[in-house]
């Protein structure tokens, strides 16, 4: 759980039900932050909009996510190691 969700939960129990004004204010701020994040979320992208005629089909696919920084570094390291091994092998022959 995140810090904000813990803060919201604690604010609900101690602020609303417990009567603590400080926790109530912190809870209002945490809930407002959550509402702001929800309001500013990106809209889904429409790729195609149209009517299908009788007998037509549509194939939906999911594009793979771009590699993370960790995956890129790992691929680069693997490539470098294989290149070094190939260089050593060609140097010996």
Q: What is the pLDDT of residues 24-77, one digit of tens each?
A: 888 889 889 999 999 999 988 888 889 999 999 998 888 899 999 999 999 999
Instruction: Tell me if 23 is assigned to some domain.
Output: yes
Checking if the pLDDT of 1 tops 80, the result is: no
The number of distinct structural domains making up the chain is 1
Q: Which domain holds residue 15?
A: 1-41
Task: Using the CB atoms, write b or e for 73-87: b if 16+ within 10 Å.
Answer: eeeeeeeeeeeeeee
Residues in contact with 10: Cβ distance below 8 Å, sequence separation at least 6, in sequence order: 23, 27
Instruction: Tell me if 83 is assigned to some domain.
Output: no
């Amino acid at each position: 759980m995140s810090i904000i969700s813990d803060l919201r939960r604690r604010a609900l129990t101690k602020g609303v039900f417990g009567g603590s004004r400080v926790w109530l204010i912190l809870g209002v701020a945490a809930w407002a932050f959550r509402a702001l994040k929800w309001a500013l979320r990106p809209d889904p992208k429409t790729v195609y909009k149209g009517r299908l005629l009788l007998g037509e089909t549509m194939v939906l696919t999911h594009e793979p996510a771009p590699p993370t920084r960790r995956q890129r570094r790992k691929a680069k390291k693997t490539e470098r190691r294989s290149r070094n091994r190939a260089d050593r092998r060609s140097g010996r022959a």
